[in-house]
Structure formats: C-alpha cells, structure tokens
C-alpha cells in the first residue's frame, strides 16, 4: 500500500516534509506527487497519478489535493483503500468561486514574465491549477458511493471551508468521519503538524 500526500495551492509537495518523514519512520511507503505541470484538468491529474503509482493507495489531500484525491477515487475506486480530505470539498465550483478564480488567473497570467523568488511555484503553473479547480467535477455522488473509510479534517478557523460543510461531507459518505481541529485554519498540517500527524497515523493504522 502506498500513501499519496497531495498538496494544496499555492504550496507544492514540500509542504508534506514533516508528514512524509513521520510516515516513513512508521514504515509506510510515501509518495508526494507534484500536481503542477499536469495540465488544466484535475481528472487528468488523477489519470496520470494512477499510471505513475501502481497498487492499492490511500490518498491524503489538502484543499486542492483533496479534489485530486476524490478524482482518484472516481477513476479507480477499486484501488483506493481510503481517503483523508483536509480543508477540501466535493462539490463543483460555485458561481462566486468561479468568478474569484477568473480574477486570480488573470492576475497570475500578468505575473508570468516576472522573475521567480527562490522556491516559488511559477505563476503560469499556479494559473493553470486555478483553471483546473475552477472546472472540477461535482463528486458528491462519488463520495456517497465510495466504499472505503473517508476522514474529513477541518480547522474551526478555516476561512474557505466551514465546519458545517465538512460535517455534511463526512455524513454523506458510507464510512465517513469528521475530525475538527480547534484553532487551525485552512492548511491544518502546517497550522497543527503534531496533531495532524497523530490523526493521520491513527487513520492509516487500520491498514498496518
């Protein structure tokens, strides 16, 4: 079994360094694929990742990474043992959300010719990822039919996804559960890495 750690926007795979180290020490095979540079379709990202990594998988997705985790489960439910979604949602983008993403895409395209700061994701890759999130599929139906455990993690100070929305997502799954992180914002693994690691290890222990 491989554990896929799928990063958030505008971060990259390095956000998972503390989690990857802890999981490897615990004996898990960990992969942290980079989502940028895979085109403007989250479903397309999932297809590529399924080709890149064989065998049974557990996907852990933060925000944008959660959209990709759900796309993996839609494409290959038989390979997905379980899902952990942190600060993510299953629905398609709202009208207001699409409008905000369009504005952000335009800003990033203007910045495309600017020099990079060391370690920064190129603006054109950030823009393309925004396009993918803007056009993502509504996977609430897939959540309802997914047969494996689905753990939804949410910070009670998340400014993007509400606790009520996260609870509804967990309740809509066959084996859904909710973990609320008091005092955490949108990127839980960075705000509260020690507690997130403990929750993640407990979730994975069912396949140990």
Instruction: Give mean pLDDT, residues 103-112.
Output: 90
User: Predicted confidence band at 118 (pLDDT cuts at 50, 70, 90)?
Assistant: low
Q: Which residues contact 32 (CB under 8 A, 6 or more apart)?
A: 4, 5, 7, 13, 16, 20
Mean pLDDT for the chain overall: 95
User: Predicted confidence band at 115 (pLDDT cuts at 50, 70, 90)?
Assistant: confident
| 71 within 8 A of 86, measured Cβ to Cβ | no
| 153 within 8 A of 84, measured Cβ to Cβ | yes
Strands 80-86 and 175-181: unpaired
Angstrom distances, CA of residue 129 to CA of 4, 45, 49: 19, 10, 15
| 30 within 8 A of 23, measured Cβ to Cβ | yes
pLDDT tens digits, one per residue of 138-166: 999 999 999 999 999 999 999 999 999 99
Q: Kindly provide the b/e burial profile for residues 129-149, where b requires at least 16 CB atoms within 10 angstroms of the residue's own CB.
A: bbbbbbebbebbebbeebebb
| Domains of the chain from N-terminus onward | 2-90+138-207 (3.40.50.1820)
| 195 within 8 A of 169, measured Cβ to Cβ | no
Instruction: Give mean pLDDT, residues 22-37.
Output: 96
pLDDT tens digits, one per residue of 49-104: 999 999 999 999 999 999 999 999 999 999 999 999 999 999 999 999 999 999 99
* pLDDT at position 168 over 70: yes
How many residues comprise the chain?
Answer: 208
Q: What is the dihedral of CA 190, 177, 90, 194, to 10 degrees?
A: 10
Model confidence, pTM: 0.96
| 13 within 8 A of 19, measured Cβ to Cβ | no
Angle subtended at Cα 148 by Cα 156 and Cα 138, rounded to the nearest 5 degrees = 65
| 183 within 8 A of 192, measured Cβ to Cβ | yes
User: Predicted confidence band at 112 (pLDDT cuts at 50, 70, 90)?
Assistant: confident
């Amino acid at each position: 079994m491989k554990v896929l750690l799928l990063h958030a926007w505008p971060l990259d795979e390095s956000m998972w360094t503390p989690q990857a180290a802890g999981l490897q020490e615990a004996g898990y095979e960990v992969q942290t694929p980079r989502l940028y540079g895979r085109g403007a379709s989250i479903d397309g990202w999932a297809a590529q990742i399924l080709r890149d990594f064989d065998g049974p998988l557990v996907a852990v997705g933060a925000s944008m990474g959660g959209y990709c985790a759900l796309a993996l489960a839609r494409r290959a439910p038989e390979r997905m043992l379980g899902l952990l979604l942190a600060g993510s949602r299953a629905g398609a983008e709202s009208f207001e959300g699409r409008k905000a993403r369009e504005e952000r895409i335009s800003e990033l395209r203007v910045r495309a010719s600017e020099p990079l700061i060391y370690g920064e994701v190129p603006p054109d890759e950030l823009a393309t990822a925004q396009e993918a999130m803007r056009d993502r599929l509504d996977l609430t139906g897939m959540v309802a039919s997914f047969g494996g455990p689905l753990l939804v993690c949410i910070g009670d100070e998340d400014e993007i996804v509400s606790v009520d929305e996260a609870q509804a997502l967990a309740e809509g799954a066959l084996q859904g559960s909710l973990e609320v992180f008091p005092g955490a914002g949108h990127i839980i693994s960075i705000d509260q890495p020690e507690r997130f690691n403990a929750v993640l290890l407990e979730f994975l222990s069912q396949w140990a």
